[in-house]
Amino acid sequence: MSKWQLITKGLVKDNPTFVLLLGMCPTLATTTSAINGLSMGLATLFVLVLSNMAISAIAPVVPDKVHIPVYIVVIATFVTLLQFLMQAYTPDIYATLGLFIPLIVVNCIVLGRAEAFANKHGVLDSALDGLGVGLGFTLSLTVLGLVRELLGSLSAFGWKIPGTGDGMLAFVMAPGAFLCLGYLMVLFNKFIAKK
């Protein structure tokens, strides 16, 4: 697989949200607006690239029996690092995303890529794979966030559409997350994932 394919495959063909159905909790919980979705995607991307690189580097020396706990500790270390960085530079976003930043540890995408890709490939390839999957995740979170923001508060990326009133509040709240993701998946199956 070429380096370019490693980056682009996560966007549509192996999209973590719409095709592989991984990492559903942050997908649903943090996409109340496009900005929030984008930030959550980038936070996951950060952990994904770094943990993929570290794990591909240490994989040859980790005994097979304890590889899962070791990977989880590596991932948890990068998540803690991310928590510090966000607390220092983007405290507002950190407060909004709240619990879901530490929960990146148990995001199945991160451990999934470590198991499925990083422990068998080189450091550079693993970094690119992390980047590709992370970008795919960021893309789907941003799209879902944008749709919910448009319907729920009639604005996009925090910019209010002029001359409009309030949106349908339900789309910013819990039921809207499930409904929007469900219908987006239907559209994805219908038009993009054609065989």
Partner 1 sequence: MEILLIIVSAIFVNNIVLAQFLGICPYLGVSNKLSTASGMSLAVCFVITLSTLVTYLLNKYLLLHFHLEFLQTIAFILVIAALVQMVEIVLKKVSPSLYQALGIFLPLITTNCAVLGVAINVVTKEFTFGLPSHMLGLGEAVLYAFATSLGYGLAMVLFAGLREHLALCNVPKAFKGVPIALITVGILAMAFMGFSGIA
Confirm or reject binding of residue 189 to partner 1 (CB under 8 A).
yes
Cα 140 to Cα 121, 131, 133, 158, distances in angstroms: 26, 14, 11, 18
Rule CB under 8 A: say whether 103 interacts with partner 1.
Answer: yes
Give the range of 37-45, 70-78, 120-128, 142-150 binding partner 1 by CB under 8 A: 70-78
Whole-number Å distance between alpha carbons of 140 and 17: 7
Is residue 58 close enough to count as binding partner 1 by CB under 8 A? no
Taking CB under 8 A as the rule, does residue 182 contact partner 1?
A: yes
Burial, 14: exposed, middle or buried (Cβ in 10 Å; 0-12, 13-18, 19+)? Answer: middle
Six-digit token string for 134: 């992370």
Name which of 100 and 117 has its Cβ closer to partner 1.
100
Q: How far is the CB of 108 from partner 1 (least distance, A)?
A: 6
Q: What is the DSSP letter of 155?
A: E
Residue 96 makes contact with partner 1 by CB under 8 A: no
Residue whose CB is less far from partner 1, 29 or 123: 29
Helices 34-58 + 67-89 axis angle, to 10: 140
Q: Which of 42, 58, 76, 150 binds partner 1 (CB under 8 A)?
A: 76
| Residue of 145, 131, 64 whose CA lies nearest to 97 | 145
Applying CB under 8 A, the residues found at the interface with partner 1 are 21-25, 28-29, 69, 72-73, 76-77, 79-80, 83-84, 99, 102-103, 105-108, 111, 170, 173-179, 181-183, 185-187, 189-190
